[in-house]
Each structure stands twice: as C-alpha cells, then as structure tokens.
Structure 1
C-alpha cells in the first residue's frame, strides 16, 4: 500500500531510554491490571506519555492520562489512580 508505514519502519519509536522508577518506589516491576489503584508517584507528570498517537495509543481525555511504567503503557484515572487500560511490553 503506497504511503503505508510498516511496524518495522516505526520500530525505533518504541525504543525509549531506560525507565527509572520514581524515588521512593522500591517494589520493582509488577504487572498491574485494569482496576488496580496505583501509588501516585507512579503516575506523576514526569511519566505521562505526551503524545499517545506516536505509539498508536488512543487519545486520553478528561482525568485520564497514558503513563509509562517500565515497558508498559497504563491508562490511569488521575483522580483515583485506577488503571483503566493497559498495553504491556509496548516499549523496549
């Protein structure tokens, strides 16, 4: 298909710098699922994914933001800290 961008061509977009957990988060990686309430240090503004479209994530509206958590993208309700959607292992 002319003009189509393949996953191979976009692969570098998903390779981000190493993830550093917030200071005070000593629990290491745990796979969080929908409904889990996160500690607020994990979804502070430093971890927001500023342009979800770049990673083919749906837009986040209202109190929701996509946040990077290790190699996962979590859609978080900023009012409650609840995870409402997940994409595991999107980054590498």
Structure 2
C-alpha cells in the first residue's frame, strides 16, 4: 500500500513536466492542429448539422487552449533567453505612456530589440524601433522620441 502511494506521488510530479511544451516544434504542431480544427469548423458550418458545428467549435476551443498552454510552457522553459543581455539602464525605471517624449539616452541602440520574431512582436514601422526599458517594451519613433506603443511587464 505504501509503495502505491509513493508511486502515485512520483507519477503526479513527473506527468506535468512531461506534458509541458519544451520545444518550439511542439508549439508549431499545436498551431497547425488549431488551423486544422478551424478548417474542420468551416466545413461543418458549410455542410454539417448543428451537432457537427457544436463539436467542431468545442474542438477549436480545445485546440486554442492547447496552443496557449504550449506557448506559456515554452516561454517558461526558455525564460533565460528573454532575460539575456544587460537591459538595466544607468537611469531609474520610469513608467512611460503612449505619446510621451523620451530623451535619446532612453532609446539608444543599446536597448533596441533587433530580433522581433523571438519576442513575437509586430514589425516596427518606418523610423520606429522596439526598445526595452527594464521589463517594459516600448515602440518608439526614433526621429521624434515619441512612444507609440507600450507593453508593460512584457519581460519577466
């Protein structure tokens, strides 16, 4: 009896680690599965009855949840990638709002985010750069110094 309890506790601690997404490939497979489920939903809406549509919607909802969980697990397991680099500035943290004007020291090339795909940020427009300010990410117009977009707490 005691062995079964120990084995049960051991299995309970091991299973969540196995189920979490550790690779980008697993996240991509989940996204592909979501697209397939959405295609099935469109087919059900076109040619199926109410029950088919209801089942397809449930499948899409479950697939979306799976994608969210896989991305969360991937980010959690690759957290050090986001923390890499010296993002601490020689100035204090300031909470910036959209429309604020920054001095050039706040958005110089040292704080640029060059690989926007890694952070899953949209591509910046002309004369705009993504800048990391402590744990926040700011989209700044580098010609005027104006803040266009703010994502607070983006980097843990």
Q: Same fold (TM over 0.5)?
A: yes
Deviations 1:40-75 (A, max 9, x none): 101001110011121111101210000000000000
Coordinate RMSD, CA, aligned: 1.9
Segments ≥4 residues shifted beyond 6 Å: none
Alignment match, 1:21: 89
Q: Max radius of gyration: which structure?
A: 2
TM-score with structure 2 length normalisation?
0.51
Asked if the contact 2:87/2:111 (under 8 Å) is kept, the reply is no
What is the CA–CA distance in structure 1 between the aligned matches of 2:127 and 2:155, rounded to whole Å? 24
Count of aligned positions: 88
Aligned: 1:3 with 2:29: yes
1-side partners of 2:134 and 2:141: how far apart?
18
2:113 alignment counterpart: 49
2:141 — aligned with what?
Answer: 77
Q: Which runs of 5+ in 1 are unaligned?
A: none
Q: What secondary structure, in the 3-state scheme, does the structure 2 residue paired with 1:49 have?
A: coil
Greater per-residue strand proportion: 1
Higher helix residue share:
2
Which of structures 1 and 2 has the larger relative contact order (alpha carbons within 8 angstroms, sep 6+)? Answer: 1
Segments of 5+ residues of structure 2 without an aligned counterpart are: 1-26, 31-69
